[in-house]
Structure 1
Amino acid sequence: MITVPRSLILGLAALLSGYHILLGVYSLDVPDRQGPVIVALVLYAVATLISLWPTSPMRMPLWLSFFDLAVCAALPLLVGSTLDGSSSSNGYATWYVAAVGTLMTIVATRKNQVVAWVGVGFLVVHTIVWAGPAALGSLGVIGSVVWVTIAVTLSRGLARAGRDARQFARAEREATEWQAAQEAHLYERQVRLEHTSRLAVPMLRRIVERHGRLNTVQRQECRYLEAAIRDEIRGRELLNDDVRKQVMAAHRRGAIVTLLDEGGMDDIQGPERDAILNELAAAIGSTGADTIIARTAAGSDTAAVTVVGLSSTDPSVSALGQDSPDDEVDLWLEIPRREPVQLNRNGLVSTDEK
């Protein structure tokens, strides 16, 4: 999109307004009284200066638009009182007509169209009363109305184009985010499939080679493999090499391990995630519970992972993977979120530097 610098627009508007002031000064010898004309020139200069101030916001404040409206009402009254409306020799002394059109065009551009219409409307009414309807064309009143009309039309068109551009940009961001999410999900599925293949392919080949005739040890290994694949599917962000090692060790001693990733660690990356998973691996390896449940703490601002270990008093119930009413809590742990470790210039852990 091609944009015009605001300074260029302000500069052109200031030059046009200054031209009207020069015409008013040049024609000071035409009015029968110069005092009202000088007051009108000063009011117009002040209103133009404030309206074109470089640091002002795009939307003109309401008080400033009313001030400009008052100036536009004062200019015809002040200058017109010193001229003969029926005379055709006023010349440049009617500079106020173009000045009102310019000032109201500025007001319309700065998103106060109603005030701009009221200002040029007053100019039309004053001209008809002061010099008659025929003077609307000869004095340039119609041109001032056309300027305001163009300014209002362009302002509305640019506002509509700006809204459309923002909507398109928002839609583009949403489409980009959706595509990135889909690519991330695809990448994650590929990683999970590759890891699952590495786990399962050797055992599947062994089963094919033996035509499905496995001994007791091999069947147990298949069960361990099934549990590992299930952990990969449900555990997701709860797994690293140390956690996998400790979970498999717990499976081999007969414990039932359940890993549930509910999205509570999606925003945790890097050293903070590694520290949490290392503590999780240590907790699983340190307990002798028959049932171990680890899940991410979704919706928590302080805890990252919760770990529960239950020891069953009924071995048959534990072997079936069920909880007994008499289960005893052997382990209860909340692993908190951690701030990423920062190193100072000497490579040492620093807790004071920021």
Structure 2
Amino acid sequence: MRSVRGVLDTIALALTAYYAVRGLVRPEGAGNLLFPAIAVGLYLVLTLLALYIEKPGSDSAAAGSGPPRDRAGTVLPRWAALVVLVGVAVIPVFVAAYTPPAERTASHATWYLGAVGAVLTIMCVRHRPISAWIGIAILGIESSWAIGVLPTMSLGFVGSALWVAIAQLLMVFTDRAYRDTARLAALQQATSAWQASQAVRRLERRRRVQYALAVAGPTLSRVIASGGVLTDEERTTARLAEGRLRDELRGARLLDDDVRDAIAAARLRGATVTVFDEGGLDDVSPEGLDEVRRELAQTLWHTDAPRIIIRSAPDPDVAITIVGRSAGGEGLTDEDDLQLWREIPRPRASE
């Protein structure tokens, strides 16, 4: 952005110098340069005003960040645009006033047609297109009054209007390209974040499976080696290993050492424990997750329900729901079989 702005400023200053020289170079005997110098000086002030005045508090180092109309140094302040319009209205009248009628179509007397057009082009690039077109209308009316319509059209007014039109088209296309680039960058960031989260999830699942296999692996090897002929103690161990493997795959985020011990104790006394993690805990902080797991472990240690269902689901208020039922309870709406209903609240962000 800085390099582009520097190139545009250089072109604008070069044009400014050219029109300033045109306004000052006069034929021999054409009078003193006081009034032409005043007109050229006013033109230079307007050009610098349109080029470099920025909104209060804007930081030129931040140029290029944010939407096109919010970038520092891009939008010309309203007061500056108004001052430029007033100056644009003054210059043609002032030049016509100090130039003899017979010389008003000479090069040194029509320099303002291109000069004012250059200033208005800068104003359009600074995201003031309406003000620029108002200035073009003022320039056309005043120059037509001073030198006539046909000379106005042939001596530079058409070119000035064309510059403003091209500047507005470039502004529209540039802003659109900027918005498309910003949208593409946002999509790329979202895609990168999604890919990173998926990589973390795959890594976490791989670690959980490795952990579960490390726990259940010896028991599974014993089952295979014995051909399924196990003692009662080995069957119990195999049942616990199978349950732990299932828990690690279905509800890894609900588990820590205390929860695993509580679930194992419930299964040792003959209870059936089912764990489901259907999401909803991904945005919980590690501290909040530890608190939820601690409450879950305490609830499991203090229940003797034969069937226990532990479930987490996306809910704004509840982190985990624990349901305990009797051994014969089948229907989820059969309240006579319900022995435990515990909802662990979701930790707040401040926690």
TM-score tier by shorter-chain length is: 0.7 to 0.9
**Structure 1 residues 210 and 188: alpha-carbon distance in aligned structure 2, compared to 1, 3 A threshold:** same
SS at match of 1:4: helix
**Structure 1 residues 333 and 85: alpha-carbon distance in aligned structure 2, compared to 1, 3 A threshold:** same
Deviation per CA, 1:264-286, whole angstroms, max 9, x where unpaired?
22112333322331232122123
Q: What is the Cα deviation at residue 207 of structure 1? A: 1.9
Correspondence for 2:207:
191
Of residues 85-94 and 37-46 in structure 1, the stretch that sits farther from structure 2 once superposed is 37-46
**Structure 1 residues 72 and 105: alpha-carbon distance in aligned structure 2, compared to 1, 3 A threshold:** same
What's the TM-score, normalizing by structure 2?
Answer: 0.73
Correspondence for 2:303:
287
Of residues 290-299 and 182-191 in structure 1, the stretch that sits farther from structure 2 once superposed is 290-299
Q: Does 1:276 align with 2:275?
A: no
Correspondence for 2:54:
54
On the 8 A contact 1:257/1:292 being kept in 2, the answer is: yes
Correspondence for 1:351:
none
Q: What is the Cα deviation at residue 247 of structure 1? A: 0.5
Amino acid at match of 1:110: R
On the 8 A contact 2:113/2:156 being kept in 1, the answer is: yes
Correspondence for 1:159:
175
**Structure 1 residues 304 and 31: alpha-carbon distance in aligned structure 2, compared to 1, 3 A threshold:** farther
CA distance in 2, matches of 1:91, 1:227: 96
Correspondence for 1:307:
322
Correspondence for 1:239:
255
On the 8 A contact 1:306/1:333 being kept in 2, the answer is: yes
Correspondence for 1:337:
347
Aligned length: 332
On the 8 A contact 1:113/1:152 being kept in 2, the answer is: yes
CA distance in 2, matches of 1:134, 1:93: 12
Correspondence for 1:4:
3
The root-mean-square deviation of aligned C-alpha atoms, in Å, is 4.1
Correspondence for 1:345:
none
Q: Which residue, out of 206, 210, 217, partners 1:201?
A: 217
Correspondence for 1:352:
none
Of residues 195-204 and 205-214 in structure 1, the stretch that sits farther from structure 2 once superposed is 195-204
CA distance in 1, matches of 2:349, 2:157: 70
Deviation per CA, 1:230-262, whole angstroms, max 9, x where unpaired?
222221210112111110111111122232323
Of residues 332-341 and 160-169 in structure 1, the stretch that sits farther from structure 2 once superposed is 332-341
SS at match of 1:326: helix
**Structure 1 residues 116 and 328: alpha-carbon distance in aligned structure 2, compared to 1, 3 A threshold:** closer
Q: For structure 2, which runs of at least 5 residues remain unmatched after alignment? A: 57-72
CA distance in 1, matches of 2:52, 2:17: 12
Correspondence for 1:212:
228
Of residues 325-334 and 256-265 in structure 1, the stretch that sits farther from structure 2 once superposed is 325-334
Q: What is the Cα deviation at residue 225 of structure 1? A: 2.5
Q: Which residue, out of 244, 247, 250, partners 1:228?
A: 244
Correspondence for 2:196:
180
Deviation per CA, 1:176-216, whole angstroms, max 9, x where unpaired?
12322331232233223323322343222212211233344
Q: Which residue, out of 90, 93, 114, partners 1:77?
A: 93
What's the TM-score, normalizing by structure 1?
Answer: 0.73
* Matched-pair identity in %: 31
**Structure 1 residues 330 and 156: alpha-carbon distance in aligned structure 2, compared to 1, 3 A threshold:** closer
**Structure 1 residues 102 and 156: alpha-carbon distance in aligned structure 2, compared to 1, 3 A threshold:** same
Correspondence for 1:344:
none
Q: For structure 1, which runs of at least 5 residues remain unmatched after alignment? A: 342-354
Q: What is the Cα deviation at residue 8 of structure 1? A: 8.4
Correspondence for 1:347:
none
Q: Which residue, out of 103, 111, 118, partners 1:87?
A: 103
On the 8 A contact 2:104/2:147 being kept in 1, the answer is: no
On the 8 A contact 1:109/1:151 being kept in 2, the answer is: yes
Q: Does 1:327 align with 2:337?
A: yes
**Structure 1 residues 286 and 74: alpha-carbon distance in aligned structure 2, compared to 1, 3 A threshold:** same
**Structure 1 residues 153 and 46: alpha-carbon distance in aligned structure 2, compared to 1, 3 A threshold:** closer
On the 8 A contact 2:23/2:36 being kept in 1, the answer is: no
Correspondence for 2:146:
130
Deviation per CA, 1:30-62, whole angstroms, max 9, x where unpaired?
689x88996996698469637742336633466
On the 8 A contact 1:104/1:120 being kept in 2, the answer is: yes
Correspondence for 2:65:
none
**Structure 1 residues 99 and 5: alpha-carbon distance in aligned structure 2, compared to 1, 3 A threshold:** same
More helix by share: 2
Of residues 114-123 and 152-161 in structure 1, the stretch that sits farther from structure 2 once superposed is 114-123
CA distance in 1, matches of 2:315, 2:207: 27
